[in-house]
Structure formats: C-alpha cells, structure tokens
Chains A and B, each alone.
Chain A
C-alpha cells in the first residue's frame, strides 16, 4: 500500500463515526454484498459516510491491507474495523451492531 493511500484511509475512517467502504454508492451499489451492507445501515438509521472503492484503485487495494481483510464491503465505527457484510449481518440479526453503535455514542439520525 502506498503511503498516500494509507494516510487517506486513515483520515477517512477518523473523519466520520461510521464509514462504509463499498463497491458503488448507497443509491447504486455495484455488488450484492455492498448492497446488503447498505441495507443494514439504512435499517439501523445511522448516518454514515461511504467510499466507492471502484473510483479509487489506491484505496481499493490499500483498504484490504489496512484492515487485513480481503473483501469489500468493510465497515468502520469510530476508526475501528468492525467487519465485512457477513459479520455485519450476523451482528445486525443478533442486535450486537445496534448495541455497538449505541455504546460508541452513534445514535440514529432523527
């Protein structure tokens, strides 16, 4: 990963409480897994920033190394890596994800 990609990822995950690295955009996800991740965040009603890795090869490759995680999407909460779409789904279904967001002081957008 380039230093440039690392520092951009670093500032991105710290700039917003909830950040989703995905393929495409929340309105037009380009992959089923990214689409599922968006659906979960929409259900939880939290505000989140999204990064379309298809628009940026540096981030697309860099984020895999940064998180030590081979696939997209990837969810960050308060600068910490939470997981990909399978973990998001499991945590959503068990209530852990809303608990985590609540514990981190991330409340649903009114």
Chain B
C-alpha cells in the first residue's frame, strides 16, 4: 500500500514542527518519493542522526509501506 505525499509530510511535521518539507513524487506512482527536510533542530547532529529523526517520524513505515524515500536533510541557512 503506497503512501500519499501529504501523509508523509504530515507525519514529519508532527514530529519535527519547524521542518520545511519538500516532497517530490519521483515515479508518479505514489511509491517512490524524494524528500528534503530542513530544520534548525538538526544543527549539531551527524547526518545519520538527522535521517534517523525523519525515519522515526514515519513510525516504521519507512522500509515497510514506504519503499523508496530518497532523503536529504539540511539546516536552514
């Protein structure tokens, strides 16, 4: 079962409220997305931890119902 882009955004936003989120549906099939998440709360965290925070926000869907989410994280300029 694929996931809607809005649902991904809502879940990330719930866990990381200040996040600016850009989601791209890569294949148009609702199953392959790219997400760019920018949050001040990532400052000082190694990249692995930043990604883990986003995965945690998705509560286990990543690697399950959500097969492909190409993730980029960043800190606001």
Q: Is B10 an interface residue (CB 8 A)?
A: no
Q: Is B68 an interface residue (CB 8 A)?
A: yes
- Name A's interface SS: mixed
Query: B70 and A86: CB pair below 8 A?
Result: yes
Query: A83 and B48: CB pair below 8 A?
Result: yes
Q: Number of A residues contacting the other chain (C-beta, 8 Å)?
A: 14
Q: Number of B residues contacting the other chain (C-beta, 8 Å)?
A: 13
Query: A71 and B47: CB pair below 8 A?
Result: no
Q: Is A70 an interface residue (CB 8 A)?
A: yes
Residues of A within 8 A of B (CB): 33, 64, 68-71, 81-84, 86-87, 90-91
* Chain A to chain B contacts (Cβ below 8 Å), 9 pairs: A69-B48, A70-B55, A70-B60, A70-B64, A71-B63, A86-B51, A87-B48, A87-B51, A91-B47
